[in-house]
Structure 1
């Protein structure tokens, strides 16, 4: 696992930052690898028993998130960044009731942060060029979606079952992220 992270850091240092913002193929390659690493770490965090799925909730994923082909590539970069940021923030919540390995959670957060850093240069260029406005409806819907997850955790007092429900939803998020990442190449 650490060899993969070391390789990614080395690649990032060798490649000019400007290339990240203009080369969607490179960005797609890096995000695909990062998504795989995050998904693997997320799977390492064991959920609670199946009975917790009785508490399952529909957090209402925005329709545009389910279908990336409906948006432009520049918006895809913004959506990917926002999703990673929101997932990162969720793992700042109290997960002590889960029994999860704190080192694994820390690695996951580090990997999410690393992915966000790679996207920031492209994101800044997109905003600078006026190709995307921060008040975009998709972003507002996305933020509401993650707010519902955090609120659910709070309402359930960060119980192990609540975290299991959110954990399953976050695993699903990585399938959406993968679709967006593939979309960058097209």
Structure 2
């Protein structure tokens, strides 16, 4: 009787662990799809960057983000989440000076929200499994990087050309996000 209860408990624990584990393949597919949709929306917003050449800026994204293969998948998820959260914050700012179609901006924000929601769910499961990477220097560097973008926009009074420079930089971010998403292997 005791052996039977132990066996049932063991099977239950194994099934619970399997139910909690993140399906990285599905997450990777969903994130790539949504990331592609965000890029398409950003391209729809681009006007004429040629007249804004004087406003170009090298915001210097952290080197770790440029080389995503150094991350464990759990840390990659944290970095992806932080980038999406910061990009979302940028596009919630004063975009009226950019002269963009507000529907496209809202669609972009919705796509970013969906990506962050999926990541929050997965990160919560990782926390429950005890695999969460609590400290990340990369996240701190990202916060500094995005603060520089916010300060640039503010210093340029959220001008159309400043938004164009930021938009080009965010398109670069999505390129790096694709690399990070590729690290979400099962």
TM-score with structure 2 setting the length: 0.85
SS at match of 2:132: coil
Aligned pairs for 1:1-186 within 5 A? 22-128=22-128, 129-133=130-134, 135-185=135-185
Is the Cα–Cα contact under 8 Å of residues 156 and 162 in structure 2 kept in the other structure?
Answer: yes
Gaps of 5+ in 2: 1-17
**Alignment RMSD, CA only?**
1.7
Offset of residue 20 of structure 1: 8.4
SS at match of 2:92: coil
Gaps of 5+ in 1: 1-17
Which structure is larger by alpha-carbon Rg, 1 or 2?
Answer: 2
Aligned residue pairs total: 168
Is the Cα–Cα contact under 8 Å of residues 48 and 160 in structure 1 kept in the other structure?
Answer: no
TM-score with structure 1 setting the length: 0.85
SS at match of 2:157: coil
In structure 2, what is the Cα distance between the partners aligned to 1:179 and 1:20? 25
Is the Cα–Cα contact under 8 Å of residues 62 and 145 in structure 2 kept in the other structure?
Answer: yes
CA deviation string 1:114-149 (max 9, x = no partner):
11001101112334415311x421100011111110
- After superposition, the Cα gap between the structure-2 partners of 1:64 and 1:21, relative to the gap in structure 1 and judged at 3 Å, is farther
